[in-house]
Amino acid sequence: MTSTYPAAATPDSPPATLAPDNRSPALMLTVLLTGTFMASLDVSIVNVAVPRIGDELDASEAALQFVVSGYTVAYAALLITGARLGDDRGHRRMFTTGLAVFTATSLVCGVVPGVELLVVARVLQGAAAAMMAPQVLTIVQRRLPSERQPMAFALYASVISGAVVAGQVLGGVLVDADLFGWSWRTVFLVNVPIGVAVLSVVPRCVPETDELTRRRLDITGVGLLAATVAAIIVPLVVGRETGFSWGLWVLLAAAVPLGALFARHVSVRQAVTGDALIDLALLRRPAVALGFGSVVAQMAAYGGMLFAITLHLQRGLGFSPIRSGLSLVTFAVAFAISSLAVPRLSAAARRAAPVAGLVVTAAGFLVAAWLAREGHWNMATTGLAFAVVGGGFGCGYSPVVSRTVATVPRARAADASGMFTTLNQLAFAIGVAAVGSVYLAARSGPTAGDSGSAMAVTFVVAAALMLVAAGAAATQRAD
């Protein structure tokens, strides 16, 4: 398809007519969501392989932390920049470029001889994921009819949630299988054939966007945003494992003035030139601010719960990584089913789904707290509780995302996509640090009972966050 390059649209200008395109929307979504799955999978799959990496590369604990956090920091810090580059250079082009670099760096991760190069490759892999991931929501909003977007957003949410759980299971399977004697390297090398296959079909399945802004990249904004996000993520990720030294507290505190400088810079630049990295005016829309607030509370609860339950199952109860991952399958399946079911409901039911779903999620967490309190783990009863949690979460998360994005003008789709994906990562990391710390602080000893009582407290905190998210969603609906 030949792309045209009109002059930059004003933020609230009506959408231009898209050129006809005969590509299958289903194939387009499959390709885009495969890239999303790969990017989300690599957030969690490496955790399972870390002990083996440390043994075989003789790596220090600090180096292993950077193997994990290097990807997360680069990914979160550059998501908004990736979204802006898609608006300026073409969303399919940036998705393809990001996927190609992601695939190449995955290969490098799988063959490196030492941990230093592995850390560098992981940072580059995270940067590549940040180029690829934010294009998905933008392409969906710009290329799919509005009536098909809720189902696309539900699939998107299911893929993200499923990938995090699948990463733990798949990582355990690959490391234990030791295919071809490659040990931990297979958790990276598995991306290579998938990436090559997807790259071969992108031009035939994904159309290029017709409206490119061709704005100058706000380099100062990129630097300030990356510094702000890194100042938040690095202490939360590294401090959780190594302890919060005074240097990490100083870095975390620096996020406040850095964030203020970033907000001031983009506000002034947007007013003067109209080409700031991101237009913060979006957050003045109540529906957008409340929607993002609900998503942040949900992801903080989810991230903290996932971190704590992994520790509880593997260290408290002695489960293997594979069994630990399989214990969360009912959550992931119920999340996917409910996410995909909500768009098929009546209009009245769809309006009620987010609040009802998040309240049900909170109730499911409270049931899980009661079941976990003494350190027992019955696969049937706990699996049922996790199915309730996952089903309610799917009813809450996907519709809130869909409703929020629907309020954003198409000309600002990249801004919304970049903000949403960045907030997702930040909220997840904050949840791991804050809610995960609740579990660690409440665990008074090494026994299963000690771990179970701490897990019960963690579930109660997660339930409270879900009720906060429900309140924001209810207010958004009323607004």
Task: Please state, in angstroms and rounded to a whole number, the distance separating the CA atoms of residues 357 and 360.
Answer: 5
Question: Residue 103 burial (CB < 10 Å; 0-12/13-18/19+)?
Answer: buried
* 337: nearest Cα among 153, 155, 146, 137: 155
What is the torsion angle, in degrees rounded to the nearest 10, for the CA atoms of residue 467, residue 473, residue 474 and residue 476? 150
- CA distances 303 to 80, 124, 364, 430, 432, Å, are 21, 24, 16, 8, 5
Question: Residue 22 burial (CB < 10 Å; 0-12/13-18/19+)?
Answer: exposed
Task: Please state, in angstroms and rounded to a whole number, the distance separating the CA atoms of residues 191 and 205.
Answer: 20
| Structure-block tokens of residue 227 | 């510094």
Please report, as a single letter, which amino acid is at residue 419.
M
pLDDT value for 210: 61
| Structure-block tokens of residue 1 | 């398809």
Task: Please state, in angstroms and rounded to a whole number, the distance separating the CA atoms of residues 362 and 369.
Answer: 11
pLDDT value for 11: 40
Residue 98 neighbours by CB under 8 Å, 6+ apart: 35, 82, 128, 129, 130, 131, 132, 133, 135
Query: How does DSSP classify residue 319?
Result: -
pLDDT value for 107: 96
pTM listed for this prediction: 0.76
Q: How many CB atoms lie within 10 A of CB 414?
A: 30
Task: Please state, in angstroms and rounded to a whole number, the distance separating the CA atoms of residues 163 and 45.
Answer: 9
Task: Please state, in angstroms and rounded to a whole number, the distance separating the CA atoms of residues 298 and 287.
Answer: 16
| Cβ contact 307:443 at 8 Å | no
415: Cα separation from own chain's centroid: 16
Query: How does DSSP classify residue 375?
Result: S
Task: Please state, in angstroms and rounded to a whole number, the distance separating the CA atoms of residues 318 and 311.
Answer: 9
pLDDT value for 3: 34
- CA distances 324 to 40, 56, 127, 318, 379, Å, are 19, 24, 30, 9, 11
Task: Please state, in angstroms and rounded to a whole number, the distance separating the CA atoms of residues 122 and 106.
Answer: 8
Over the chain (479 residues), the average pLDDT of each successive run of 10 is 33 41 78 90 80 83 76 83 83 92 95 92 93 86 79 82 78 81 90 94 82 71 84 76 78 91 87 75 82 91 85 84 80 87 84 92 95 86 93 89 77 71 80 82 86 94 96 80
Angle between helix 91-111 and helix 25-57 axes, rounded to 10 deg: 30
| Cβ contact 144:329 at 8 Å | no
Backbone angles phi, psi at 16, to 5 degrees: -75, 155
- CA distances 405 to 28, 142, 401, 425, Å, are 19, 11, 6, 17
Q: How many CB atoms lie within 10 A of CB 189?
A: 18
